Structure 1
Amino acid sequence: MDSFKIYAQKDIDQLILRREGEVKLGEKVALCAVSENDSLPMALEKLTLSSAKFVLLGIPEDIGVRANGGIAGASSAWKTSLTAFLNIQSNRFLTGAEIMILGHFEINEPLADDLTELRNKVAQIDALVYPVIQKIVAAGKVPIVIGGGHNNSFPIIKGTSLALKKAIDVFNVDAHADLREQEGRHSGNGFTYALSGGYLDHYFMYGLHQNYNNEAILSRIDRDEHLHAAFFEDILAGSENENFWGAWKDRTTIGLEIDLDSIQNVLSSAETPSGFAANDIRKLIMTTENKFAYMHISEGATRMLDGRVSRLTSKLISYLISDFVKTQ
């Protein structure tokens, strides 16, 4: 059965590469579990007792990507990214005490590889994820979620919305709007389901690629005043839509979504040679004045089913996490 693995100290210790004269972030982070025998409900009840503001957890799956016709690999990002993050130096800029490491979801693979079964499984993942996010946000903490496919945007938005008792706004850095039809759950329609469920109010799509969003989606964006798009081609040409930023400035309760296929040459199912530079996204995180209710990093991979590998994805994710914690 699907479950959640709560991390105890020994789980963290085995990931730390210690060096004399240095203190790594993993030596300072908070943990929710006293022992590996703690249940998830017990651990979540302890959240309010911790001074850590941020709660880091993983959803290592690529079922949603495969359910959308993509290539498996997104499940590989969590463990390597956590290892990279825990081995950052603990220093005056970031001590580690600001962050609690909760653990990761353990999700069983469907027995068959047909779209119907995969999409049914994604709906089961939704039901598994959103109550955990709801508990974290209700405890006054900020979840940082490492995926996994972008299908997990839906349960994260839902859990945050239920905790705050209102629909939230979302800023999504992405080449794709992920507003495909409600044809069964997958990585391409998380925001469609969030809008339909009343959990998502205003949706800001930053960096959409003109070549990879169908006309039906573009027409929907044009019709709906709650949907706001800034296209990557317009950003390149220096002609960004002023209405996008005008609508954005007044938003207060916001989720931050970063789909790594928006960054050029980052390993993912939809890897692109043309996109944002990594430092563009780091700068966006560092300079925004808005405070976010959560951050979700999705679609990145260190190893794809087709044989492609990258050692840099995990380090990039580590940078994005540390930037977010430092500036929030």
Structure 2
Amino acid sequence: MLNLSLFTEDNRRSLLSTRDGETKLGQQVQLASAAQSIADNLSQAKTNGARFVILGIGEDIGPRANLGRGGATNAFESAMAQFLNLQSNRFLNGKQCLVLGQISTQDLQLDTNSTAEQLREQVSNLDERVIKVLSAVFESGLEPIVIGGGHNNAYGLLMAAKASFKRPLAAVNLDPHSDFRPKEGRHSGNGFSYAAASGALGYYHVLGLHELKNSETTLQQLETFGGHWHSLQQIWVRQELSLETALKQIAKQLNNTQLPVAIELDLDAITNMPSSASTAAGIPLLDALKYVNYIAKHCPSVYLHLAEAAPSCHVAGEAAGHRETGQSISELIYSYINARINAL
């Protein structure tokens, strides 16, 4: 049984603001029916023209298990409130998207008195749910766009993709942290090291890695695996190479693997984005959009994962956090969809 809470017609109506003479994406996107199995819903959506499945994972047990802040629980709602109210027009009509819903996590969330060990056990339980739901999506031939929760969910995504494609993935991750920390129990800082050890990760490149936010142990472990990176300081501070040059190099390396490509993005890479580890020294949102668009267009990408956004962590309050994360994630979704539709 899949632990999945469907995005319903009532959910759509509650978020949608219509206007005479305009058609919004929310009026065009496809929704799943509770009367059908998930497999049948996915198959029907594909028959009706869907190519992308938008899915949320509202949880913060992964960041908390990594001794970070909570709050990464409602990025999906923030994103849909903005995305569904964008215009349906010649650039995107919305019918290509199935808004599926969210993986259920309420029963896994633990209170603030929980130990790291307890939280890490729950992250392992969440992994199983992510793998089951995403396996169904990959098997349908649709491309998932996964929003919210900690970066721990990269592990489940990679494992599900490996099972479906029968081979490991080549992943690129825009993130100040490599998330390749030791396998000390599951949390948001070791999704990729666990995926590597499980055979789901065949190649890994980190873009925007912060030179002083990764331990020497982690860097050595990443090097031993054969991982690569371009640092934040190389591109945006010392300007030793341009973002364009870095993206061309990354795309060439990814394509040389001849593996399906996973596009990962930790929202805490973006300057002042409310997240479990927000930073003042990040990259502009426009550069994050360029990253997603370039890799999705030039590589055989199979999913987009947007992790760690935490609206409640905004310095101006939760309402401001919902606006900023919602708008940012909506733009990232469109950057991916536009690139995939126009892929070379």
Q: Deviations over 1:81-123 (max 9, x none)?
A: 1111111100111100111111111212236511111111000
Greater alpha carbon shift after TM alignment, 10-19 vs 55-64: 10-19
Greater alpha carbon shift after TM alignment, 304-313 vs 61-70: 304-313
Pick closer, same or farther for the CA change 1:305–1:279 going to 2, 3 Å.
closer
Matched, 1:271 2:278: yes
- Name the SS for the 1:321 alignment partner: helix
| Superposition pairs of residues 54-93 of structure 1, within 5 angstroms | 54-93=52-91
- Name the SS for the 1:216 alignment partner: helix
- Name the SS for the 1:26 alignment partner: helix
Counterparts of 1:65 and 1:306, CA distance in 2 = 19
Counterparts of 2:37 and 2:114, CA distance in 1 = 32
Q: Deviations over 1:115-150 (max 9, x none)?
A: 111111000100011121111111111000001110
Counterparts of 1:94 and 1:41, CA distance in 2 = 25
- Name the SS for the 1:211 alignment partner: coil
Aligned to 1:247: 253
Indicate the percent of aligned positions where both proteins have the same amino acid: 34
Matched, 1:295 2:295: no
Kept in 2: contact 1:71–1:305 (CA 8 A): no
For residue 278 of structure 1, report the CA deviation from its aligned partner.
0.2
Matched, 1:234 2:234: yes
For residue 258 of structure 1, report the CA deviation from its aligned partner.
0.6
Deviating above 6 A after TM superposition, structure 1's stretches of 4 or more consecutive aligned residues are none
Matched, 1:304 2:313: yes
Kept in 2: contact 1:72–1:305 (CA 8 A): no
Q: TM-score, normalised by structure 1?
A: 0.93
CA RMSD, 1 decimal = 2.2
Pick closer, same or farther for the CA change 1:50–1:126 going to 2, 3 Å.
farther
Pick closer, same or farther for the CA change 1:45–1:89 going to 2, 3 Å.
closer
Greater alpha carbon shift after TM alignment, 302-311 vs 157-166: 302-311
Aligned to 1:327: 339
Greater alpha carbon shift after TM alignment, 49-58 vs 118-127: 49-58
Aligned to 1:8: 8
For residue 304 of structure 1, report the CA deviation from its aligned partner.
2.9
Q: TM-score, normalised by structure 2?
A: 0.88
| Superposition pairs of residues 147-226 of structure 1, within 5 angstroms | 147-225=148-226
Kept in 2: contact 1:151–1:189 (CA 8 A): yes
How many residue pairs align between the two structures? 325
Aligned to 1:30: 30
Aligned to 1:113: 114
Kept in 2: contact 1:67–1:118 (CA 8 A): yes
Counterparts of 1:209 and 1:8, CA distance in 2 = 40
Structure 1: segments with no counterpart, 5+ residues = none
Aligned to 1:135: 136
Q: Deviations over 1:185-241 (max 9, x none)?
A: 10000001100110110011111001100001112233333x111111111223249
Matched, 1:96 2:94: yes
- Name the SS for the 1:102 alignment partner: strand
Kept in 1: contact 2:30–2:45 (CA 8 A): no
For residue 305 of structure 1, report the CA deviation from its aligned partner.
9.7
Counterparts of 1:273 and 1:184, CA distance in 2 = 29
Counterparts of 2:37 and 2:97, CA distance in 1 = 20
Counterparts of 1:8 and 1:239, CA distance in 2 = 49
- Name the SS for the 1:269 alignment partner: coil
